[in-house]
Each structure stands twice: as C-alpha cells, then as structure tokens.
C-alpha cells in the first residue's frame, strides 16, 4: 500500500493510498473510501476488511491482529494492534471472558483477561 505522488494542481486528490492484491492480480486507489465515504485514516483498514469479506483473503502486505473470545462468538480483526488490544481488554473487562490476541508475528496467542 503506497500513496501516489501528492496533490495535483487542479485539486484532484492524488495523494491517495493504493492497495494491491497479487491473488486478484489487481490494485485499487482508495479515493472512494477517502472522498465519498469519509473514512480518513480508517480507509485502508476498511478496504482490506471488505476485500477479505468478498474474496476470502486480505490484500498484499496486510496481516490483521485477531482478537477472539474463547467463551462466546465475539471477535474482531484489526490492522492496528492497539485497536485489537483495546477491543480485547474491553470485551474481557465487560464480560469476564478470556480473549486470544493473535498475529502472524507471534508464535502463540496472548491471552487477555486472565
């Protein structure tokens, strides 16, 4: 995911992230997510999660943090560790459930709420 060159002189937004997916052999600029949907900093995450929902896989270079409750069906996938950790802590605090926090960079899940 890389931004393009920067703002153009005619006001068109050109400093827009581009998301690539080698499995789909395609790439997308996130102008719609930024301009029409107003997602701001959440544009890449929203696109990546929507992409997974529609295709079954994430775009290139996207590895989510997964927080799964060990007691109920609740859970989330977030691209930002802090967001996944915040959800895990909040869910554990409000339900007294243990939540597994996982990421590809870790060998074993972290247990939140024990």
Two structure tokens written together for 16: 């827009």
Identify how many contiguous H helices and E strands the chain contains and give both numbers: 3, 7
Instruction: Summarize pLDDT for 70-101 with one digit per residue, the tens.
Output: 999 999 988 889 999 999 999 999 999 999 99
Half-sphere exposure of 59 (CA within 13 A, CB side): 21
Instruction: Summarize pLDDT for 50-68 with one digit per residue, the tens.
Output: 999 999 999 998 999 999 9
| The pLDDT of residue 10 is above 80 | no
Amino acid 4: pLDDT? 43
Q: Domain coordinates of the chain in residue numbers?
A: 2-55, 65-112
The answer to whether 43 and 52 are in contact (CB under 8 A) is no
């Amino acid at each position: 995911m890389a931004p393009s060159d920067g703002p153009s002189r005619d006001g068109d937004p050109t400093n827009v992230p581009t998301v690539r997916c080698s499995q789909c052999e395609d790439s997308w600029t996130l102008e719609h997510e930024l301009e029409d949907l107003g997602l701001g900093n959440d544009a890449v995450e929203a696109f990546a999660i929507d992409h997974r929902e529609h295709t079954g896989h994430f775009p290139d270079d996207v590895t989510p943090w997964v927080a799964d409750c060990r007691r109920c069906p609740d859970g989330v996938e977030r691209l930002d560790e802090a967001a996944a950790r915040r959800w895990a802590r909040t869910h554990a605090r409000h339900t007294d459930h243990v939540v597994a926090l996982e990421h590809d960079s870790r060998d074993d899940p972290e247990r939140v709420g024990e």
